[in-house]
Amino acid sequence: MYPRVIPLKALLSRKSLILLGPRQTGKSTLTQNFAPKALTFNLLDDALFRQFVAHPEQLRQLIPSSERSTTQTVIIDEVQRIPNLLNEVQLILDSRQDIRFILTGSSARKLKRGHANLLGGRARFAQLFPLTYPEIQSLRLKDRLTRGSLPAILDSPEYEEDLKAYVGGYLKEEIQAESLVRNIGNFARFLETAALCNAEQINFAQIGSDTGIPARTVKDFFILLEDTLIGTLVEPFTKTKKRKAVATPKFYFFDLGVVNALLSRFSLAPSSPDFGKAVEHLVFTELKAWLSYQRRDDVLGYWRSQTKIEVDFTVGDHTAIEVKAKPIITERDLAGVRALKEEGIFKRFFVVSLEQRARITKDRIEILPLDEFLGMLWSGRI
C-alpha cells in the first residue's frame, strides 16, 4: 500500500470533510486506514442506496449515541449518488458535536448542478489525486508515462486491460447510469478526440467540426469532464504587457494512463512529440496535486503569446515552469522563459528536463532534472 500525503488528520481536526476524487484514486482505502473503526455507509451498495433514497432520515437512527468524549468518525462513500442525504448530515452536525463525517465522491456534478446542501461551512472540501512523486517514492518515469498513476493500475500485470475497463466503467457508471448526456455515442466519440487534444489548447469549434458535434455541446462535454473530475481546463496567464497573451484554455486529463487507454497507445518513443507531451502532463499532475494538498490558492496556468511563444506552466504570479523532455537543454529551449522573464512579473524560472545535473544560467534560469524538480516541489523549496 502506498503512503498518501494528503493531510487528512489536519483537514478533520475541526470540521467534517467532503473528499472528492476520480474512481480508483484510493479514497475508500485511505479513509478506512485512517479510521478503521468508523461507521461506514457505501452508497454503491444497492440495498443501502434504495433504503436511503426512500428514507434518508434513517441515517440519524443508524448512528449510535456516544457516551464518551471522543469524536466518532462516520464515512459515507459516493455521497453524490444521494445529494439529499447531505440535509441529514447537516442536521446531525448541528445537534451533535461528537461526530466527524468523511463524505467521499467521484463526481462533483450532481452536488454542484443539483443545488445540493454543501453543509454551509460545516465541512472542508479536498480532492484525492492519483499517486504522486513522494507517495511512489521514486520517479518510475516509464511506468507513469504509460500506465498512469492510479494505485491499482500502476502495479497491475494487466494494466492495459485494466485501463480499458476503467474508461468503459467511466462511460457506463458515471455518464450513462447518471444520465449526464443524452447521446452516449457522441460523448464516447468526443472522448477520443479530447485525448488527442490532451495538453493542448482547446478549440471548441474545431473539435466540433472534427466530431460532428455542435461547438456548444463540445464545451459542455469539457465542463462535464471537469465536474466528474476526469480533466481540467487550465486558463492562460494574461497579465503580460509587452507580448499580448492568448485567452484560450488548455486541457489535461487527470491521469496519463486514461489518455493512453482512450488512444490505445501504450508505448512512447523517448524522442517523439507524444513523449514530450506526456512528460509535460506528468508535471501538470504533480503541480495540481501539490497545490491542492498544500491548500495553496495560487492559480495554475500557462502563458502563450499571440506570436506563439509559450511557457508550459505558471504558478500564481511568482513561478514559471517550462518542461522539455530532452537530455540536453539548448539556448533555443530557453526562448519562451526568457520572453516571459522580460515582463518582470515572475520571480523564479525553471526548465524541467531530462538532464543529469542541475544548473543555473547567467540570467538565473534554473535547469533541473525531472526527479530533482519534483523532490524540490514536494519538500517546499519551490
> DSSP assignment of 313-339, as one string?
EEETTTEEEEE---SS--GGGGHHHHH
Which helix (H) or strand (E) element contains residue 107?
Answer: none
At 331, phi and psi to the nearest 5?
Answer: -60, -35
In angstroms, the CA 373 to CA 352 distance is: 7
Which amino acid is present at 330? T
pLDDT of res. 69: 65
Pairing of strands 319-323, 359-360: unpaired
pLDDT of res. 118: 79
In angstroms, the CA 42 to CA 56 distance is: 14
Query: Which residues of the chain are under the pLDDT cut of 70?
Result: 67-69, 113-116
Reduce the DSSP state of residue 315 to 3 states and report it: strand
Pairing of strands 72-77, 99-105: parallel
In angstroms, the CA 332 to CA 369 distance is: 18
Strands (DSSP E) contained in 78-134 are 99-105, 123-127
pLDDT of res. 114: 54
pLDDT of res. 68: 64
Q: Count the Cβ atoms, other than its own, within 10 Å of residue 164.
A: 15
Grid coordinates representing 194 are 479530447
Domains of the chain: 8-128 (3.40.50.300), 134-378 (no CATH)
pLDDT of res. 126: 96
pLDDT of res. 108: 82
**CB of 366 within 8 A of CB of 350?**
yes
Cα 269 off chain centre by = 26
For residue 54, give the nearest of 88, 28, 20, 78 by alpha carbon. Answer: 88
Cα 88 off chain centre by = 29
CA angle 382, 139, 104 (to 5 degrees): 80
In angstroms, the CA 139 to CA 297 distance is: 26
pLDDT of res. 71: 85
In angstroms, the CA 161 to CA 156 distance is: 10
